[in-house]
């Protein structure tokens, strides 16, 4: 998983994308759903005034959900900024 971020004056916004390495549409949709749900579980770790893009890799399909949440929480906590 890759997280791109930029500071913003607006409230937090999040976009989800899936790598081209994930070939089939059904698999891409599953990765996007898993990332969205993991973000819902960890949104308090993200800074309040940022724009985020979360890019899913093929490993997001086979990785246990708890591990996906843990990885996302760690990545969001590493972004500097005030939490809401």
Q: Which domain holds residue 52?
A: 2-77
Q: Are 43 and 35 in contact (CB under 8 A)?
A: no
Distances (CA, A) of 44 to 14, 24, 74, 84: 13, 32, 12, 7
Identify whether 82 is part of a domain: no
Give pLDDT, residue 81: 86
Residue 64 DSSP code: -
pLDDT band at 67 (very low <50, low <70, confident <90, very high): very high
CB atoms closer than 10 angstroms to residue 45: 16
Q: Taking the complete model, does pTM exceed 0.85, yes or no?
A: yes
CATH label of the domain that carries residue 61? 3.30.230.10
Cα-to-chain-centroid distance, residue 14: 8
* Average pLDDT value for the chain: 94
Instruction: Kindly state the average pLDDT of the residues 32-49.
Output: 95
Give pLDDT, residue 38: 97
């Amino acid at each position: 998983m890759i997280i791109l971020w930029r500071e913003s004056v607006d409230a937090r916004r999040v976009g989800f994308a899936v790598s081209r390495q994930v070939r089939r549409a059904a698999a891409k949709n599953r990765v996007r759903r898993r990332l969205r749900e993991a973000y819902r579980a960890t949104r308090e770790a993200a800074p309040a005034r940022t724009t985020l893009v979360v890019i899913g890799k093929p490993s997001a399909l086979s990785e246990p959900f708890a591990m996906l949440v843990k990885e996302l929480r760690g990545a969001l906590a590493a972004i500097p900024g005030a939490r809401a």
